Amino acid sequence: MGDSLQKAFFGVIALGVSCIAIELIPVSRQAAYWNRCLDQTVAWANESSDLRKWSQKAKESLAVGVCNGAVYEPKLKTN
């Protein structure tokens, strides 16, 4: 009796872990997409002549806003 109950618990645990792993797939894809956006935006800011004088933290802050969709101006205001 105890052995079959233990096997059932392991089966339920395995099923639960599998469901959690499957649910995390879209989140991990979105995180990878966002990280790629952040890296590319920071690289663009490093290459831009207007933004070279900005600190790295300011460039990363701009990149976070861009990747989150918070930048509404099509033209960047540097003043």
Question: Residue 73: left if φ>0, alpha if ψ -120 to 50, beta else—which one?
Answer: beta
Domain contains 54: yes
Domain contains 77: no
- The answer to whether residue 67 scores a pLDDT higher than 70 is yes
Domain contains 13: yes
Task: Return the CA Rg of the chain.
Answer: 23
Q: What is the pLDDT of residues 28-52, one digit of tens each?
A: 999 999 999 999 999 999 988 888 8
Give the structural domain span for 22: 2-68
23-29, long-range: CB < 8 A, 24+ apart: none
If one counts the domains in the chain, the total is 1
Domain contains 46: yes
Distance CA 43, CA 71 (A): 17
Query: What mean pLDDT do residues 2-31 have?
Result: 92
Query: What mean pLDDT do residues 9-29 have?
Result: 95
Domain contains 20: yes
- The answer to whether residue 71 scores a pLDDT higher than 80 is no
Query: What mean pLDDT do residues 1-15 have?
Result: 88
Domain contains 21: yes
Domain contains 79: no
Per-residue pLDDT, 76:
62
